[in-house]
Amino acid sequence: MHVLVSGSSGLLGGALVELLATGGHRVTRLVRSQPKRDRDELHWDPQRDVLDVRALEDLDAVVHLAGENIAQGRWTTEKKRRIRSSRVESTRLLAGALAEVARPPEVFVSASAIGYYGHRPDETLREDSRSGSGFLPSVCREWEAAVEPAEQKGIRSVRLRFGMVLSADGGALAGMIGPFRMGVGGTIGRGDQYVSWVALDDAVGAIHHALQTEALAGAVNVVSPQPVTNRQFTKTLGRVLGRPTVMHMPAFVARLAFGQMARELLLCSARVEPANLLATGYVFGYPELSGALRHLLGQTDGS
């Protein structure tokens, strides 16, 4: 396949490009910088609506993963503007351009997030569950709606709602490893809020599954089938690292330190089920947290 990938410099995009290249596929990277002569790259600038539609001919698939990091820093007005714009406007530009292509790709896989559901502590959430309230749910609704021009063109479109992607090389887990190894890791708030997570290998595997599975379209939750509470996550990571987890960050301290980001990320509870992945035959390599963490941290079964 010839696959166009945005967000290829990110944690998930980089791993996907490596997998596709290893599998013999041709990968073109969609980049904001000046394309390098020795790499297969295509320039775009979503802020200025710059994207050459003619360059999108003869693609088999497009994977759109670009977006501002939501877990770094407080959500100031400007930060929230970048979060929304980097997702909604870039998706609208890309989906609109694909709708104008004479021979469009067969599939458009676009990232979304389980932030779509908001804080829902008393429910098991599947793809047909309603959206929640708050900043992240509103962003996710607009983000997913921006895919519509590609759908209307007849391109099979898959909106992957990612949970917390775990990797030792970046993201939330990488930020936890240092404090936990120093013995200062602990629960946040009451600790009973659900964390819907997925190992990086399975996040990439789900994208590959979406590219290859013709029956898969629409919203798809990309999370392990075994979500855990914040307390369970904390205890499991401490056990894998062999460190105590006696520290605790009260909810009011998290809100003071991180503001709205704490309310909608750190203290939010969403017990999400990957119903559509399971229904289409995806087999998780790391469905259970302890095994996933040992794999990601390079530990053997006996360590």
Is the pLDDT at 302 greater than 60? The verdict is no
* pLDDT tens-place string over residues 104-119: 999 999 999 999 999 9
pLDDT at 283: 98
Q: What is the domain count for the chain?
A: 1
For residue 8, is it within any domain? yes
Residue pair 214/188 in contact (Cβ under 8 Å)? The answer is: no
The pLDDT value recorded for residue 50 is 95
d(CA 243, CA 95): 47
The strand pairing partners of 187, in sequence order, are: 248
Q: State residue 271's pLDDT score.
A: 98
Q: Is the pLDDT of residue 284 over 70?
A: yes
Task: Note the pLDDT of residue 252.
Answer: 87
Q: Which domain does 85 fall in, by range? A: 2-296
The pLDDT score that the predictor gives to residue 301 is 54
Residue 303: is its pLDDT beyond 60? no
272: β partners: 125
Structural contact between residues 223 and 276, judged by C-beta atoms closer than 8 angstroms? no
Contact 117, 103 (CB under 8 A): no
Does some domain include residue 38? yes
Take residue 68 and report the two structure tokens written for it.
């501002």
Does the pLDDT value for residue 38 go beyond 80?
no
Classify residue 302: in a domain, yes or no. no
303 belongs to a structural domain = no
- Largest Cα separation within the chain, whole Å, is 60
Are the CB atoms for 116 and 140 separated by under 8 Å?
yes
pLDDT in tens, 204-230: 999 999 999 999 999 999 999 999 999
Write out pLDDT tens, residues 122-174.
999 999 999 999 999 999 999 999 999 999 999 999 999 999 999 999 999 99
Domain annotation covers residue 301: no
Residue 55: how many other CB atoms lie within 10 Å? 16
Lowest mean pLDDT among 99-108, 195-204, 238-247, 251-260: 251-260
CATH number of the domain residue 40 falls in? 3.40.50.720
The one-character DSSP state at 131 is P
Q: What is the pLDDT of residue 232?
A: 97
**What is the pLDDT of the chain when averaged over all its residues?**
94
Q: Tens digits of per-residue pLDDT, 54-85?
A: 999 999 999 999 988 888 778 999 999 999 99
